A and B are shown apart, each in its own frame.
Chain A
Amino acid sequence: MSSALVRRRAVDRLMTALAAVAVAVALVPLASVLWLVVSRGAAGLSWAFFTHLPTPVGEPGGGIGNALVGTLYLVGLACLIGLPVGIGAGVYLAERGDSPIGRGIRFTADVLSGVPSIVVGVVAYGLIVVPMKRFSAIAGAVALAILMVPTLARSTEELVRLVPGALREASLALGVPEWKTSLRVVLRTALGGIVTAVLIAVARAAGETAPLLFTALNNQYWNLKPDQPTASLTVQIFNYAISPYEDWHAKAWTAALVLLLLVGSLNLLARFLSRSRLRSQR
């Protein structure tokens, strides 16, 4: 064995070891987050925690039912607003994106996706809360939708671009108009990937706190009216966590665990869908 080869192997092993250490270091915060949330939150889990309204300080029992429903409601409303806009913009960018308008939209989307979420919350506050003179679910949903649209548009664009041009041509050659080709053939082919992108966007929106603080605010009671303040998991956690009370702190941990489970399962679902889609295409 030549000395050069020995050295090369030694360097190779060293680099592999360094990379492994880096991975371990990166895993520490993740593991500690999981450990803290599970260890401190698991005790508070009960059926009532999912279904009951919050109780005042000192009163035993109580749950975050309204916040859980509120989060789903806010995210649902945000999807109602954000999905058509985001997906529509994505299809437009993919099909007509080479025009000056397309480049403008793409630039805007890129800038928008870099805007801190608290700024988006302020914008929604100024746009909706101030004129309505009231915190409301719709204001929170708009803020979340503004956060969803840019990433959704860009990922839809990429997914639609992945659809082979041959399919577009096949449809056009059958005498199908262009708009119908875009929707019924191209978008349909990209749909599997877009569903995954939507799930990821939803998971991200569900975990947002800042844009909701001064839009949807909070609510101690059930609410499904769009023009009323609405509770959400994240804001509830925030409120519990900054309170000086021990039992609220415990509830914050448990709510955090619920949120983690919700977001985690959405991510897992997205992963599962994209994997099964890849398999069926093979």
Chain B
Amino acid sequence: MSAPAKLTAVDLHAFFRGTEVLRDVSLEIPPLSVTAIIGPSGCGKSTFLRCLNRMHELTPGAHATGRIELDGQDVYGRDVDPVHLRRRVGMVFQRPNPFPTMSIFDNVAAGLRLNRIRGDHEASVERCLRQAALWDEVKDRLGASALGLSGGQQQRLCIARALAVEPEVLLMDEPASALDPIATAKIEDLIHELKTRYTIAIVTHNMQQAARVSDRTAFFYMGDLVEVGPTEQIFTTPREQRTEDYVTGKFG
């Protein structure tokens, strides 16, 4: 890696009600690239993602120790406002979760309005919907309820909503696991487009998806970061036996 990492985890430990769910994770996420995080259920991969924008600590009984650096600055530092951090590190969730009471337009503009960010909201909404490859499908019904969209469209709407506050990093927690293969392909195509502007970390159960969309892959198992490396290497010649067993399907 030549460029300095966008996000760096150093000796990160995460806890949930006294149980250590992440152990001593150190991982670098390079800028303008896609880092996939794979591993079996309960391996801590989602927790890791949620530590990156301090969503983890919002769960009752959860806390984390260690350092996470965004552009070299510790995001767990005392002077860092987690609310501010989350505007720089956006997140897309497993199930599409548009705001049900809002129109398509209002959903995308929600982050701008709720945060009282001034500017040309109409232009921002159009830009984000275009970036999320949704503009052509919804431009004639921006005032309609977001619930009228298909699952895949809703997820792209959620991506547009996350992009509206102009984050630098986009965290995606299994963004396509609730979608059909065609909607999944659209999201994956979108990820390829988005990585030219954003740094992306994506958690996925689907190893083929990790292989398709990511530049680097990190394998988590039982709270440990087992191995991280170029995606091609992880899927052809992993160094660790546990990675090997996982990607070849020898678990359980």
B235 CB-CB contact with A under 8 Å:
no
| Residue in B83, B97, B111 whose CB lies within 8 Å of A177 | B83
Contact residue among A175, A185, A191, A281 (Cβ-Cβ distance under 8 Å from B115): A175
A156: shortest Cβ distance to chain B, in Å? 16
Separation in Å of the B245 CB from the closest CB of chain A?
A: 33
Instruction: Tell me which residues from 142 to 190 in chain A have a Cβ below 8 Å from any Cβ of chain B.
Output: 164, 166-167, 169-177, 180-181, 184-185, 188-189
Residues of A contacting B110 in the complex (Cβ-Cβ under 8 angstroms): 171, 174, 185
B99 in complex: contacting residue of A98, A172, A185, CB < 8 Å = A185
List A contacts of B99 (CB < 8 A). Answer: 167, 170-171, 185, 189
Give chain A interface residues in 36-70, CB to chain B under 8 Å: none
A185 to B111, CA, bound (A): 11
State whether A175 touches B100 (Cβ < 8 A).
no
* Complex contacts, B111 vs chain A, CB 8 Å: 174-176
Number of interface residues of B (CB under 8 A): 29
Of the candidates A167, A173, A189, which one forms a contact with B162 in the assembled complex, judged by CB atoms under 8 Å apart?
A: A173
- Given A98-B60, A167-B99, A188-B101, A173:B91 Cβ within 8 A: yes
* A174 and B100 contact, Cβ closer than 8 Å, known pairs A98-B60, A169-B55, A184-B114: no
Task: Contact check, A172 vs B55: say whether CB atoms are below 8 A apart.
Answer: yes
A189 touches B114 (CB 8 A): no
Among residues 91 to 144 in chain B, which have CB atoms less than 8 Å away from a CB atom of chain A?
91, 93, 95, 97-101, 110-111, 114-115
CA distance A191 to B162 in the complex (A): 24
Residue among A166, A169, A174, A181 making CB contact with B165, cutoff 8 Å: A174
The answer, among A169, A176, A189, A191, for a CB contact under 8 Å with B93, is A169
Known: A173-B55, A173-B86. Is A166-B100 also a contact (CB below 8 A)?
A: no
User: Does the CB pair A174–B101 fall under 8 Å?
Assistant: no
Chain A residues in 8 Å Cβ range of B33? none
Interface pair A170/B161, CB less than 8 Å apart: yes
Whether A175 lies near B83 (C-beta < 8 A) is yes
Known: A173-B55, A175-B111. A281 touches B83 (CB 8 A): no
- CB-based contact B58/A174 at 8 Å: no
Binary CB contact string for chain B from 211 to 236 against chain A (1 if under 8 A, 0 otherwise): 00000000000000000000000000
Q: Which of B47-89 contact A (CB under 8 A)?
A: 53, 55, 58, 60, 83-88
B contacts, CB < 8 Å to A: 53, 55, 58, 60, 83-88, 90-91, 93, 95, 97-101, 110-111, 114-115, 147, 158, 161-162, 164-165
Q: A176-B111, A181-B114 are in contact. List 14 more A-B contacts (CB 8 A).
A: A98-B60, A166-B95, A167-B100, A169-B55, A170-B97, A170-B158, A171-B110, A171-B114, A173-B55, A174-B114, A174-B164, A180-B114, A184-B114, A281-B100
Pick the 8 closest A-B CB pairs, nearest first: A175-B87, A174-B111, A173-B91, A166-B97, A175-B86, A176-B114, A170-B97, A177-B83
